[in-house]
Structures are given as C-alpha cells and as structure tokens.
Amino acid sequence: MLKKTKLSKVLGAVLAVFAAVATSCVSEKGFKPISVKELREPIVKTIADDWLLVTAGSKDNFNMMTASWGEIGHLWGEPVFTVFIRPQRYTYQFMESSKYFTVTVLSEQYRDILNFCGTRSGRDYDKIKETGLVPLYTDLDNVYYEQGRLVIECEKIYADDFKAEKFTDSSISEKVYPSGDFHRMYIGKIVNIWVK
C-alpha cells in the first residue's frame, strides 16, 4: 500500500514536470515559439498568396493593414523581415513611432479580415470592431491576433524610402509610383516567431 502511494507521488511529480515544460513551450492560445531556422513555410508563397497583417503601435493605440509585399532574410548577421509601407497609410505613422512591428499570417478562413484591412483605413474604421480580430500581446507589449497561424515580431533596425533615381529598371518606378508615393521599407530584426 505504502509502495503504491510512493509510486503515485513519483508519477504525479513526473507529470507535473511534463506539464510545466509543455506550458513553457506553448504560449497563449496555442502559439508555439520557434527559431527562424525552424520555419517550415514556403514563405514567398505565404507572403504573395496568404498575405500579411502588419501591425505597429502600443497596446492601447495601434493599427494594422494588409500587405502582400515582404521579404525574409539574413542581414548584418541577423534574421530580418522587411515590409514596405506607402506614406499615405495610417499604419505608416505607427511604423514611424514604434520600435517594433509584428507580421501576422492568418488562417485561410479569415480572408475577409485581410480584404477589409487591405481596403479600409484605420483613420475611418475601428478595424478590430469591424473584423472581430482578437488582439493578443507579446512580452514586449506588441500586438498580434488570435486568428493568426504564424507571427513574426520584429525590431526596426533600418528604414528608408525608394527613390526614382535609384531604380535600375525605371519602368517599375514609372508604373508603380506615377504620383511619387514611394514605399518606405522597414527592415526589422526578427526577435520572435510563433506558429500554431
């Protein structure tokens, strides 16, 4: 009898350790932290076809927009993600004032949310209210969403505007920027990635 009690105590302790390890690996709402080298994602297809929600700002005052342009890579010895934001976007001012930005890839069933956030401005709409996006917060107080399946948290390390005279193929500049509203590129050092 005594032996049985001891055994169940040991088993209980082992299970508690397993539970603690599992909880520390899986963050809020089923997101699991991974390193950039563990990313198993056809990322170019993800960016181009699934699109991204780019979010910047503080917990109390943030904005998000849809993007289908982006780059992931390795630069200055760091893993980086770059987004391209036109100056007329409401998100632009949040990108300017924030130290961090996040990139959230949503599951396919949330395409309506991406369509809304890609055609309406946060100046005119409360996108959280209109779309049902559920904000979650990283340890650095940056915003991502429960509807996400992949989240990349970035610290801004470089920002600059495209310039007409720098295009080696000027047809792109003429076609994409007839009114001179050149995107600003924000290179972000990847500080965290989570997947579901």
Ligand X SMILES: Cc1cc2nc3c(=O)[nH]c(=O)nc-3n(C[C@H](O)[C@H](O)[C@H](O)COP(=O)(O)O)c2cc1C
By C-beta, is 29 or 156 nearer to ligand X? 156
Q: Which residue is nearest to ligand X (CB)?
A: 118
By C-beta, is 9 or 86 nearer to ligand X? 86
By C-beta, is 31 or 52 nearer to ligand X? 52
What is the rounded CA–CA span in Å between residue 170 and residue 148? 37
What is the rounded CA–CA span in Å between residue 56 and residue 152? 12
Residues at the site binding ligand X, with contacts judged by CB under 6 A = 51, 63, 65-69, 84-86, 89-91, 118-123, 183
Q: C-beta of 176: minimal distance to ligand X in Å?
A: 11
Secondary structure (DSSP) of 13-71: HHHHHHHHHHHHHS-GGG-EEE-GGG--S-HHHIIIII-EEEEEE-SSSEEEEEE--EE
**Number of C-beta neighbours around residue 58 at 10 A:** 14
By C-beta, is 89 or 189 nearer to ligand X? 89
Q: C-beta of 164: minimal distance to ligand X in Å?
A: 17
